[in-house]
Amino acid sequence: MEGVDYLADERKKAEFDVNEMKIVWAGSRHNFELSDRISKLVANDPGFSKEGRTMLPRKELFKNTLRKATYAWKRIIELRLSEEEAAKLRHFVDEPAFTDLHWGMFIPAIKGQGTDEQQKKWLPLAYKMQIIGCYAQTELGHGSNVQGLETTATFDPQTDEFVIHSPTLTSSKWWPGGLGKVSTHAVVYARLITNGKDYGINGFIVQLRSLEDHKPLPGVTVGDIGLKFGNGAYNTMDNGVLRFDHVRIPRDQMLMRVSQVTREGKYVQSDVPRQLLYGTMVYVRQTIVSDASNALSRAVCIATRYSAVRRQFGSQNGGQEIQVIDYKTQQNRLFPLLASAYAFRFVGEWLKWLYTDVTQRLQANDFSTLPEAHACTAGLKSLTTTATADGIEECRKLCGGHGYLCSSGLPELFAVYVPACTYEGDNTVLLLQVARFLMKTVSQLGSGKKPVGTIAYMGRIEHLMQCRSDVKQAKDWLKPSAVVEAFEARAARMSVACAQNLSKFDNPEEGFAELAADLAEAAVAHCQLIVVSKFIEKLQQDIPGEGVKQQLEVLCGIYYLFLLHKHQGDFLGTGYITSKQASLANDQLRALYSQLRPNAISLVDAFNYTDHFLDSILGRYDGNVYPKLYEAAWKDPLNQSDIADGFHEYIRPLLKQQLRTARL
Ligand SMILES: CCC/C=C/C(=O)SCCNC(=O)CCNC(=O)[C@H](O)C(C)(C)COP(=O)([O-])OP(=O)([O-])OC[C@H]1O[C@@H](n2cnc3c(N)ncnc32)[C@H](O)[C@@H]1OP(=O)([O-])[O-]
Ligand SMILES: Cc1cc2nc3c(=O)[nH]c(=O)nc-3n(C[C@H](O)[C@H](O)[C@H](O)COP(=O)(O)OP(=O)(O)OC[C@H]3O[C@@H](n4cnc5c(N)ncnc54)[C@H](O)[C@@H]3O)c2cc1C
């Protein structure tokens, strides 16, 4: 029945002010109002319909994405949307497109690595989309190892140009989004060679296609790399392949903020660190952490609503069966994911602050916080994307069989999301970067250099190496100080153990390679400590709204106690807690599940997702799942006729043959 809210009883159970929680989730009243307005604008515009998207063949799918992206741009201009509003609109259109890379990487690369003059020349064109750009770094042969890239940019002093060339098959650019079929320009990363010397990787702005007829320019070979994982999903994106055959660009198209080449061909390194060449990746990794909370909250919203609608077993005296959300096993799988969505939201907010802070410092030539910013963005990108990808798949399983239908929204969400574990840095490679930072910090302890920021706890290493948990009863695990110390002691002890093992090797690099798995685990422990600490810090702020803070405390408790339970081996093995204390943590976790249960639906309502954005029958706001699933099945192209195409060629002869055999 239309208009009935099947989840109304669940909503009545809420013990907190959902509207106030919506503001906490959005980050501010301004953000809430912005998201609310733009998401409804997109949902109510038929031009942004998602109908039938997963059924389209690649060519049509891609053309449809081009149509939507162009229509979005038209609406942005017509409605005179600000940059912030336009970004929200693209977010709620919810379809990976070339525009993601144009706005998300091409423009930030020019902003971060171009001189003022270069920015003045290129940014206005890019802002008006008079040129469309992508970020061409990865090659067929190398992605993680950026220093191993092979494309060359050789300076020709006679003509004052760089010659961009792909010397081998493996030097072909491979993967850049927006490159395959759309981009007119790219920021290309290539080895800078001048006066016969190789100065390593630098960025260059290279035009790829004609602005008139869109044909590849002479010397440029470019195309799409082919179909990717899942139906629809990331196939709306034209990830591309690109080869250069001695393509010439003017010298001033080398991005020259970090280093320059003079008219005479002299290489000049400015006083900014070379690592700023990697700045665009740091920026994007930071945005990926916030995106993780978007994707996970979406999956959790679907799984939570459906778990309240779905009933199995336990009917007594003809009464209703049990809602699957009431099974403790369902809660133990679902509620930590709900808590993680909130945890990633808050750590994402904090990381955005950290990134803004480091950017301001860099402008003032203060590079001191860059290593920490790199470690935090790399580590948290790795941690949150791994947990989110696994979490979306868990949500699919939490929805039983129906979760496997595309109409649940979960298969497509998963297929679009999983490459986040790989792009912007493979998650293991990034954890090893964090481990390097940790080992460096441990090796400097006692040198007089005081660890600060997220690594400040290492300054209390003597205490953290010998302290023991003083938890005596389950509710002691609700004390923030008890929890933070537990996570600090575990992280510090794992790092120190790695450092001690490393010191047994004559060659530190050999040691690092041999101990890489332990080092990655130490990095995870450090990153989990950051997420837990930032959640606890959030709770120390003034949070208005009846019951809102209490719900967040429950979520925070579930987040850290679930981690403590999952990684019990670390906490016990490093000797900080006893098995009795581990068991008390588990008792407290179960108690928190019971406290969360009546609020579960309202906690996912606080995400404020429209049905258009969720695009899931199982996650519908009104919970009207079964009639809509039934209705959707009949829309499948296979159901356009009672008799299947192919019946006469294949099924009928088979049946006839069986009839003949039966008669024999
Ligand atoms: C929407 C989807 C779009 C997707 C787009 C993409 O995927 S685009 C493609 C995305 N592609 C990828 O993400 C590729 C992933 N690969 C990489 O980012 C790099 O190759 C690497 C970091 C793994 C190694 O780097 P390396 O070979 O240069 O060697 P090294 O380890 O020896 O480090 C040397 C020093 O630099 C430091 N440092 C390093 N990075 C940063 C940084 N960002 N900032 C600041 N600092 C940084 C590091 O800590 C060390 O400091 P120390 O100890 O000397 O004080
Ligand atoms: C959907 C998608 C979009 C992308 N968009 C872009 C884009 O717009 N622009 C762009 O330039 N690139 C893009 N990329 C490329 C992406 O950044 C790389 O694929 C990524 O950095 C991983 O590098 P790789 O493919 O070389 O993996 P590899 O490094 O080859 O990884 C293979 C395996 O080796 C392991 N491994 C590698 N090195 C080490 C090590 N040192 N220690 C331990 N284990 C190691 C990894 O953990 C992994 O398990 C995109 C990729 C995808 C999937």
H or E segment at 187?
strand 185-194
Residue 659 pLDDT > 70: no
Is residue 646 within 8 Å of 440, Cβ to Cβ? Answer: no
Q: Which amino acid, 501?
A: N
**Confidence (pLDDT) at 446:** 86
- Bridge partners of 155, per DSSP, are 162
Q: Mutual orientation of helices 18-26 and 548-566 as an angle, nearest 10°? A: 60
Q: Is the dihedral of CA 365, 368, 370, 371 positive or negative?
A: positive
Determine the atom of ligand 1 nearest the C-alpha atom of 288: 1
Cα of 278 vs centre of ligand 1, distance in Å, is: 6
Cα of 98 vs centre of ligand 2, distance in Å, is: 19
Q: What is the tens place of the pLDDT at every residue in 145-182?
A: 999 999 999 999 999 999 999 999 999 999 999 999 99
Is residue 110 within 8 Å of 205, Cβ to Cβ? Answer: yes
Query: Does 102 sit in the ligand 1 pocket, CB within 6 Å?
Result: no
**Confidence (pLDDT) at 270:** 86
Virtual torsion, Cα 545, 546, 550, 552, nearest 10 deg? -40
Question: What Å distances lie between residue 451 and 373, 438, 441, 497, CA to CA?
Answer: 14, 11, 7, 18
Joined tokens for residue 342 = 């909130």
Query: Does 143 sit in the ligand 2 pocket, CB within 6 Å?
Result: yes
| Bridge pairing between strands 240-244 and 220-224 | antiparallel
Q: Whole-angstrom Cα distance, residue 557 to residue 559?
A: 5
Per residue, the 3-state secondary structure of 438-467, as one string, reads HHHHHHHCCCCCCCCHHHHHHHHHHHHHHC
Question: What Å distances lie between residue 597 and 151, 522, 584, CA to CA?
Answer: 56, 33, 20
Q: Whole-angstrom Cα distance, residue 90 to residue 146?
A: 30
Query: At 536, is the secondary structure helix, strand, or coil?
Result: helix
**Confidence (pLDDT) at 616:** 98
Joined tokens for residue 545 = 């709204």
**Confidence (pLDDT) at 255:** 98
Query: At 212, is the secondary structure helix, strand, or coil?
Result: coil
Cα of 144 vs centre of ligand 2, distance in Å, is: 5
Query: Does 374 sit in the ligand 1 pocket, CB within 6 Å?
Result: yes
CB atoms within 10 A of CB 237: 26
CB-based contacts of 65, cutoff 8 Å, min separation 6: 95, 96, 97, 236, 237
In DSSP notation, 618-645 reads: TT-TT--HHHHHHHHHTTSGGGGSSSPT
pTM of this prediction? Answer: 0.97
Cα of 378 vs centre of ligand 2, distance in Å, is: 14
Q: What is the tens place of the pLDDT at every residue in 534-561?
A: 999 999 999 999 999 999 999 999 999 9
Is residue 458 within 8 Å of 492, Cβ to Cβ? Answer: yes
Query: Does 236 sit in the ligand 2 pocket, CB within 6 Å?
Result: no
**Confidence (pLDDT) at 420:** 98
* Terminal CA-CA length for the chain: 54
Cα of 146 vs centre of ligand 2, distance in Å, is: 10
Cα of 172 vs centre of ligand 2, distance in Å, is: 15
Determine the atom of ligand 2 nearest the C-alpha atom of 101: 8
H or E segment at 71?
helix 58-78
CB atoms within 10 A of CB 633: 12
Determine the atom of ligand 1 nearest the C-alpha atom of 420: 2
| Bridge pairing between strands 197-207 and 220-224 | unpaired
Residue 657 pLDDT > 90: no
- pLDDT-derived band at 316 (thresholds 50, 70, 90) equals confident
Probe target for ligand 2 pocket from 137, 138, 172, 285, with the most ligand atoms within 8 Å of CB: 138
Is residue 240 within 8 Å of 224, Cβ to Cβ? Answer: yes
What percent of the chain shows pLDDT beyond 90? 93
Residue 663 pLDDT > 80: no
Q: What is the tens place of the pLDDT at every residue in 220-263?
A: 999 999 999 987 899 999 999 999 999 999 999 999 999 999 99
**Confidence (pLDDT) at 662:** 62
What percent of the chain shows pLDDT beyond 70? 99
E strand intervals along 253-310 = 259-261, 267-269
Cα of 425 vs centre of ligand 1, distance in Å, is: 8
Minimal CA–CA distance to 347: which of 383, 372, 395, 371?
Answer: 383
Query: At 288, is the secondary structure helix, strand, or coil?
Result: helix
Atom 33 of ligand 2, nearest CA residue: 426
Mean pLDDT calculated for residue range 453-465: 97
How many residues belong to the chain? 664
Query: At 587, is the secondary structure helix, strand, or coil?
Result: helix
Probe target for ligand 1 pocket from 146, 272, 359, 417, with the most ligand atoms within 8 Å of CB: 146
Q: Which amino acid, 228?
A: K
CB atoms within 10 A of CB 147: 8
| Bridge pairing between strands 185-194 and 197-207 | antiparallel
Determine the atom of ligand 2 nearest the C-alpha atom of 228: 1
| Bridge pairing between strands 259-261 and 267-269 | antiparallel
Residue 664 pLDDT > 60: no
Own/partner contacts of 411-415, CB < 8 Å, gap of 24 or more, are 411/230, 411/231, 412/53, 412/54, 412/230, 412/231, 412/232, 412/233, 412/615, 413/295, 413/298, 413/299, 414/230, 414/299, 414/389, 415/229, 415/230, 415/231, 415/232, 415/233, 415/234
Burial class of residue 38 in the structure, from the number of CB atoms within 10 Å of its CB (0-12 exposed, 13-18 middle, 19+ buried): buried
- pLDDT-derived band at 660 (thresholds 50, 70, 90) equals low
Per residue, the 3-state secondary structure of 478-495, as one string, reads HCHHHHHHHHHHHHHHHH
Cα of 136 vs centre of ligand 2, distance in Å, is: 13
Q: Which amino acid, 208?
A: L
Q: Whole-angstrom Cα distance, residue 434 to residue 108?
A: 24
Q: Whole-angstrom Cα distance, residue 371 to residue 245?
A: 37
Query: Does 371 sit in the ligand 1 pocket, CB within 6 Å?
Result: yes
Probe target for ligand 2 pocket from 144, 287, 381, with the most ligand atoms within 8 Å of CB: 144
Joined tokens for residue 340 = 């993680």
Cα 57 to its chain centre, rounded Å, is 27
User: Is 117 among the catalytic positions?
Assistant: no
Q: Whole-angstrom Cα distance, residue 248 to residue 264?
A: 17
- pLDDT-derived band at 272 (thresholds 50, 70, 90) equals confident
Q: What is the tens place of the pLDDT at every residue in 390-440?
A: 999 999 999 999 999 999 999 999 999 999 999 999 999 999 999 999 999
Atom 29 of ligand 2, nearest CA residue: 144
Q: Whole-angstrom Cα distance, residue 454 to residue 538?
A: 15
Q: Whole-angstrom Cα distance, residue 214 to residue 438?
A: 48
Mean pLDDT calculated for residue range 521-535: 98
What is the average pLDDT value for the chain, to the nearest integer?
Answer: 96
Minimal CA–CA distance to 406: which of 612, 210, 632, 255?
Answer: 632
Catalytic residue among 139, 424, 488, 553: 424
What phi, psi does 192 have (nearest 5°)?
-85, 125
Burial class of residue 617 in the structure, from the number of CB atoms within 10 Å of its CB (0-12 exposed, 13-18 middle, 19+ buried): buried
Ligand in closest contact with the CA of 141: 2
Query: Does 382 sit in the ligand 1 pocket, CB within 6 Å?
Result: no
Query: Does 335 sit in the ligand 2 pocket, CB within 6 Å?
Result: no
Virtual torsion, Cα 273, 274, 275, 281, nearest 10 deg? 120
Query: Does 172 sit in the ligand 2 pocket, CB within 6 Å?
Result: no
Query: Does 114 sit in the ligand 1 pocket, CB within 6 Å?
Result: no
Query: Does 139 sit in the ligand 1 pocket, CB within 6 Å?
Result: no
Report DSSP state, residue 264: T
The complex scores an ipTM of 0.99
